[in-house]
Every structure is written in structure tokens, then in C-alpha cells.
Amino acid sequence: MLRDPYYLGLVRYNGETFEGRHEALISRELFERVQEVLDQRSRRGQRDRVLTHFLKGMLFCDRCRQAGRTSRLIYTEATGRGSLRYQYFLCRGRQDKLCDLPHLAAWQVEDVIERHISTIQLPESFLSRLRAFVTETSMTNSAQCDSFTPASPRR
Ligand SMILES: [Zn+2]
């Protein structure tokens, strides 16, 4: 449906595309962007996808710290059975077999951070940065075209 050149003001007839009598409903640029997104979504195993989490890059492993190392926690996602997505953090040191910190479910980490944050006074500059992070992250997620609905064709 969204691949129909009708949206560009074109009409397909006998395998050829003609200028239609109707106005283009969306710009060619938007049409091509939509095709790109559709192609991406139909492609399987998007390994090059950049994963984002508002705590990404901000957490460090305490087990490693106690052992005198500095290891960042890495944010990652895995797809399980029934295409359920699991979001979790794991210690960078674990990848090098230096640390035995188990994988931590992202929701548990968020929960702990939330409770921790509520017990301390953070400088306003940090809070506004955190808020910007959260807004940016949720905007990125919702911009992924799931909610794209074209205007219904005028006839
Ligand atoms: Zn560790």
C-alpha cells in the first residue's frame, strides 16, 4: 500500500507509470524515505542497528571496581522465542572473561537507578541533561515509522 506510486501523483497502467490527474499526496523525498524504512523493516537480523538506552555508557561494574578494574556496562538486546525482545546490561569485563557479573535485565537496572536517584540530590544541570536524554530516546523510538499513516487519497 505504502509502496504505491499513486502517492506521488503517478498512475500505473499496463506495467507502465504515467502522470496521474491527481495531485501528488506526498513529496518524492518522503516517498523514498518510506520505501527505505519499509526495506529496512523487511530485512531480517539488523545487526548494524544502533541500540540506544538512556543509561547507555553511564554505568560501570562494581565487581570490577572492587577488583581494581574499570569496566563499563554494555547495553544490548536479544530476541528470544516468540520474538520477545530482552534488553539487558552486561559487564565489558565479562566479554574478556575477567568478570562473572551476570547479565542484568534493563528494567531491573532502571528500577535500581530510579530508587538511587530518588535518595540523592542531583545538580539541576545533570537532571536537565538526563531529561533531554530520555526525551531524545523516546522520540527516536517512536519515529520508527510504526505510526506512519498517509493521508487517505483524495478522489
Ligand atoms: Zn565486571
Q: Would the pTM of this model clear 0.85, i.e. be above it?
A: no
Centroid of ligand 1 to alpha carbon of 96 (angstroms)? 10
**What is the C-alpha to C-alpha distance for residues 129 and 5, in angstroms, rounded to an integer?**
43
Are residues 73 and 102 both part of a single domain? yes
Centroid of ligand 1 to alpha carbon of 104 (angstroms)? 11
Confirm whether 142 is domain-assigned.
no
Are residues 29 and 71 both part of a single domain? no
Are residues 69 and 107 both part of a single domain? yes
Q: Mean pLDDT in the chain?
A: 76
Confirm whether 70 is domain-assigned.
yes
Confirm whether 23 is domain-assigned.
yes
Q: Which of 50-59, 85-94, 122-131 comes out lowest in average pLDDT?
A: 122-131
Confirm whether 29 is domain-assigned.
yes
Instruction: Return the amino acid letter for 53.
Output: H
Confirm whether 143 is domain-assigned.
no
For the chain, what is the domain count?
A: 2
Which residue has better confidence, 50 or 111? Answer: 111
Confirm whether 95 is domain-assigned.
yes
Please give the grid coordinates belonging to residue 16. 507502465
Are residues 69 and 33 both part of a single domain? no
Please give the grid coordinates belonging to residue 133. 536524554
Range of 81's domain? 62-118
Centroid of ligand 1 to alpha carbon of 70 (angstroms)? 8
pLDDT at 70 over 90: yes
Centroid of ligand 1 to alpha carbon of 92 (angstroms)? 7
Q: Which residues surround ligand 1, an ion (CB under 5 A)?
A: 61, 63-64, 71, 91, 93, 99, 101
Are residues 36 and 75 both part of a single domain? no
pLDDT at 147 over 50: no
Centroid of ligand 1 to alpha carbon of 4 (angstroms)? 51
Dmax over Cα atoms in the chain, in whole Å?
73
Centroid of ligand 1 to alpha carbon of 114 (angstroms)? 21
Confirm whether 140 is domain-assigned.
no
Cβ atoms of 111 and 105 closer than 8 Å: no
Confirm whether 108 is domain-assigned.
yes
